[in-house]
């Protein structure tokens, strides 16, 4: 998180709004642990990771929506074993990600 704080400060210094995504629940096998974080700015740039897979794309969209509306979001992602690797969740894991605007 310390690395992300430095990035948040830099983005905010140049005038960007920032959203923080945090893994708040996991189940089964997941590539990132509970508490994993990703930040997204109003330009669509991001740092960190909540899944290491294409869940990141959906979380970026959620973060941009949260920046525009100011409304936090909780989103669950889960997948069957057969297609788990296609979306970046190994072995049928599930995660819940909470997205909120920083500041």
Residue predicted with more confidence, 23 or 82: 23
CA of 37: how far to CAs of 33, 34, 82, 91, in Å? 9, 9, 27, 21
The pLDDT value recorded for residue 2 is: 79
The pLDDT value recorded for residue 55 is: 87
Residue predicted with more confidence, 33 or 89: 33
Neighbours of 14 (CB within 10 A): 8
- Owning domain of residue 43: 2-101
Q: How many domains does the chain contain in total?
A: 1
Residue predicted with more confidence, 88 or 32: 32
Q: pLDDT per residue over 23-63, tens digit each?
A: 999 998 888 899 999 999 999 999 999 987 768 999 999 99
Mean pLDDT, to the nearest integer, of 75-98?
Answer: 69
The pLDDT value recorded for residue 50 is: 94
User: In the sheet where 94-101 sits, what is the strand order?
Assistant: 46-48, 37-41, 18-27, 94-101, 73-78
How much is the mean pLDDT over the chain? Answer: 88
The pLDDT value recorded for residue 83 is: 47
H or E element, residue 100: strand 94-101
């Amino acid at each position: 998180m310390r690395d992300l704080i430095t990035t948040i400060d830099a983005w905010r210094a140049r005038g960007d709004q920032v959203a923080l995504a945090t893994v708040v629940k996991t189940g089964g096998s997941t590539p990132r642990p509970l508490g994993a974080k990703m930040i997204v700015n109003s330009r669509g740039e991001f740092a960190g990771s909540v899944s290491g897979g294409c869940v990141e794309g959906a979380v970026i969209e959620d973060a941009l929506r949260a920046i525009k509306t100011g409304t936090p979001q909780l989103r669950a992602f889960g997948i069957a074993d057969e297609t788990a690797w296609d979306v970046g969740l190994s072995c049928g894991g599930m995660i819940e990600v909470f997205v909120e605007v920083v500041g």
